[in-house]
């Protein structure tokens, strides 16, 4: 297995399972309904907002891997659209799973020599650093989602 295949595998495991933490986004969100997903405990972001935020950066890097510019802005990364129904929440999750699989496929197609070249600009480091950073970013926010879910589901049972 080459480096890009390993990175793609690690990325997929975050979303769909099989990583050594035994926690993944799809299983974590499986029993989260739209009311729980959108409930905000001040000052924290909602689960839905965190899912949007994770996917915001996946979409931005994916665009670069397709030859486009890096035009993501941190200030917009939490601007999730309102969710007002079960169907809207399900649609967002389905888009997230599709985008994740598409991104993993893109990672697999990166030539190994490109991994060590600058990612759009020297200040961002190389492609490998950015892909690893995306995976770390995903795990960081998954931890938040798991904690919020526990708090919200516990409060919902009382």
Helix axes 47-65, 86-109, angle to 10 degrees: 30
| pLDDT > 70 fraction of the chain, expressed in percent and rounded | 99
Residue ranges of the domains in the chain? 3-157
Tell which residue, 6, 2, 128, 15, has the closest CA to residue 61.
128
Answer yes or no: CATH 1.20.120.450 is held by domain 3-157. yes
| pTM of the predicted model over 0.85 | yes
What are 43-73's pLDDT values in tens digits?
Answer: 999 999 999 999 999 999 999 999 999 999 9
């Amino acid at each position: 297995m080459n480096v890009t295949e390993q990175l793609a595998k690690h990325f997929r495991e975050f979303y769909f399972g099989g990583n050594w933490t035994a926690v993944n986004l799809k299983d974590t969100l499986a029993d989260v309904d739209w009311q729980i997903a959108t409930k905000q405990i001040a000052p924290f972001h909602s689960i839905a907002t965190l899912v949007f935020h994770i996917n915001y950066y996946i979409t931005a890097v994916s665009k670069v891997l397709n030859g486009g510019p890096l035009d993501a802005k941190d200030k917009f990364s939490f601007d999730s659209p309102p969710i007002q129904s079960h169907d809207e929440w399900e649609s967002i999750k389905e888009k997230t799973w599709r985008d994740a699989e598409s991104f993993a496929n893109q990672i697999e197609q990166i030539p190994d020599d490109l991994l060590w070249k600058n990612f759009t600009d020297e200040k961002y480091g190389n492609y490998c650093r950015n892909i690893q950073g995306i995976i770390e970013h995903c795990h960081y926010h998954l931890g938040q989602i798991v904690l919020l879910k526990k708090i919200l589901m516990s409060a919902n049972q009382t």
